Every structure is written in structure tokens, then in C-alpha cells.
Amino acid sequence: MARQIGIDLGSANTLVYLKDAGIILNAPTVISIDKNTGKDLCIGANAKKMLGKTPSNIKVSRPIAEGVINDMDDTTLFISRLLEKAELVSFFSRPDAYVCVPIKSTEVERRALQTAVFEAGTRNVNLVREPLAAAVGAGLRVLSARGCMIVDIGAGTTECAVISRGDLVVSRSQKIAGANLDRAIMNYFYNERRIEIGELTAERLKIKLAVANQKINRGEAQVLGRNLKNGMVIAGVATSKEIYYAIKPTLASIVHQIKITLEATPPELTSDVHSSGIVLTGGGALIPGIAEYISAELKMKVSIAPKPLESVCIGIGKMLESDGELNKILYKD
């Protein structure tokens, strides 16, 4: 019998779950390729360190953008190398794969994802709707008639869904998420301090200093960038208060998407959601104060999943271990 694996192919990180073994891989979704030979040089953390630092003959690619395939060849190569690294693919063995897909992806995008994962060395490729997997991984009772709500703030998309009886009743997916927070920080330094910083610097500042409440003080961090006045390197200090002001509009946009989802929810399910509250998953859920911020804006309970970064992959794993009980989370057109 073929092995079964679950893949959370995210814009920032990719996680792989092996049935009966748990999560066996967690790596940045980045690959570096030699343009002259077409060969990959490295993937994951080593490739991410090369972003913005390579000569012209080396391409460092983020093959997944805003939750969908950005480059077909790079995606296939990345997944292939990832599965080889985990020793999941061989000449005699091709695993069955369950892969998460954003709820608003098009049929073309879904087919492209299935093709990329299949060509990377798997046998059968099944699609799993991402918010349902996140809800299962967060411990929500998705098969119950009682409604529940999940908000998955990933790197490429924020997905809001109200779930009942194992299916999506109302769902909304917007390309406003972690990557937008990074860009907001970059824009803040560019416009307010006339300093140009890179993508990795912005991400580091987000992880170290981002807050959803200006009363939370996470201290400060050194920032290096290019002085726009003279083009020279400049060293400065960033504070959590600055990062708060930088990302505040993006956080407000995420709250707006949640409000729109709630407004479209049937009254009886709205009552259930208000009673049980909203559960946050994804990297955005790690921002200090975000649950309290959303709760204050919506006037309802908001909590964070036990393992927000791993919720989607854990959800796929629970489906694999359930021997069919949770098959309703497979993709439905």
C-alpha cells in the first residue's frame, strides 16, 4: 500500500505530514536555480538566505505566491527536491498526496497544482480546502451542525470561513496577509524615514517587533538599509511602535474581511459563531495582541489555535489518520 502524505504548500513555508509519523518537514518555500544549467542549487532555509544576494546567473525563486503557483517548473522542482530530502519518493515508491488549496483558487490553478505535485513524484493528488484543514487542525468540530469560524492569516492569503456539517457555508479569501505586512513595513521606512530595506529585513522586523496594540512594547531592533538621500548604507533602530503604525492599515483590512464574512453568514450560524468565537491560525496569529485587537473590533470572542503555524498540516494529518471519517474536507467544486 502506498504511503500517504499531506502537503501544506504555503507562500512562505511548506510542511509535509507523513501518515503514522506526523510532520516530518517544515521548510521555507524557496528554491535557488542556476540559470545556465537549469539545475537547482538548494531549497528551503539555505535558498532563503540567498534572496537579494545572488549574481545574475542564479535565480532565487518563491514558486508559490498569494497561495497559488507562481512558476510551474520551479514549483515542481521544489516539491520534488523536498520529497527526495524526506526520502518519500523512489523508483519503486510514489506516495498518495493530499495538498491544501485556497478556497478561491480557479480550476486552472487547481489543475496546475495537481500537475506540479504529480510530476514531483507522487501517485494520486487530492486537493484539500485550506480553511477546512486549518479548522480540523485547530481542533474545531467541523462535522457538527453547530457553526464555527476559522480565520487563517497566512503569508499570501487570509481565508475566513464559517463551517457547518463538514462544509463551508460562507467563505472569503483575500490576498491581504503576511506578505502585505512585510511590504507595509518596507513602505513605512521608504516613505517616513527615507530608508530602503529589503524583504528579509522587513520580515525580520515583523517577527521581532510587530504588535497589534500600540500599548504592547517589544523593544527595538537594529535595521540596516540604503539611505535614499545619498545611496549609502545607513544603520538605524526600529521600534515596535513604528512597526505597529506601519502594519495598522493592513490589520484593519483583515478585520474588514472578517466583518464581510460575518455579514454574509446566516443568522442561526452567526449565533453559533458569537457563542463559540473565532479561531485564528497562520503566521499572522502570532502577532502579539492580534486576538484582542480583532475581538475589540468585532465585539466577540477571538482565540488562537494551539499551533497556528502547523494547523493546516495537522488538519491534513488528522484526515489521513481518520481512515475516511473526515473525507468531507476534500475539495468540492
3-state secondary structure 98-137: EEEECCCCCHHHHHHHHHHHHHCCCCCEEEEEHHHHHHHH
pLDDT at 1 over 90: no
The model's pLDDT over 258-312, given as tens digits with 9 standing for 90+, comes to 999 999 999 999 999 999 999 999 999 999 999 999 999 999 999 999 999 999 9
Of 233, 240, 248, 234, residue with least CA distance to 187: 248
152 residue type, one letter: D
217 residue type, one letter: N
Contact 298, 259 (CB under 8 A): yes
pLDDT at 333 over 60: no
Question: How many Å apart are CA 178 and CA 114, to the nearest integer?
Answer: 25
Low-confidence winner among 45-49, 241-245, 253-257, 321-325 (lowest mean pLDDT):
321-325
* Residue partners of 112: CB distance under 8 A and separation at least 6: 68, 69, 72
Spans of all domains in the chain: 4-132+313-329, 141-176+250-306, 178-246
What is residue 2's predicted lDDT score, i.e. its pLDDT?
A: 82
The CATH number of 141-176+250-306, from 3.10.129.10, 3.40.190.80, 1.10.3720.10, 3.30.420.40, is: 3.30.420.40
3-state secondary structure (DSSP) of residue 27: strand
Task: Give the relative orientation of helices 130-137 and 311-321 as an angle to the nearest 10 degrees.
Answer: 80
Domains 4-132+313-329 and 178-246 share a fold: no
The model's pLDDT over 78-105, given as tens digits with 9 standing for 90+, comes to 999 999 988 998 778 899 999 999 988 8
Q: Which three cell numbers stand for residue 140?
A: 474545531
Q: What is the pTM of this model?
A: 0.93
The CATH number of 178-246, from 3.40.190.10, 3.60.10.10, 3.40.50.720, 3.90.640.10, is: 3.90.640.10
The length of the chain, given as a count of residues? 333
The model's pLDDT over 100-155, given as tens digits with 9 standing for 90+, comes to 999 888 999 999 999 999 999 999 999 999 999 999 999 999 999 999 999 999 99
CA 321, 323, 325 angle in degrees (round to 5)?
Answer: 105
Contact 218, 209 (CB under 8 A): yes
**CATH top-level class of 4-132+313-329:** alpha beta
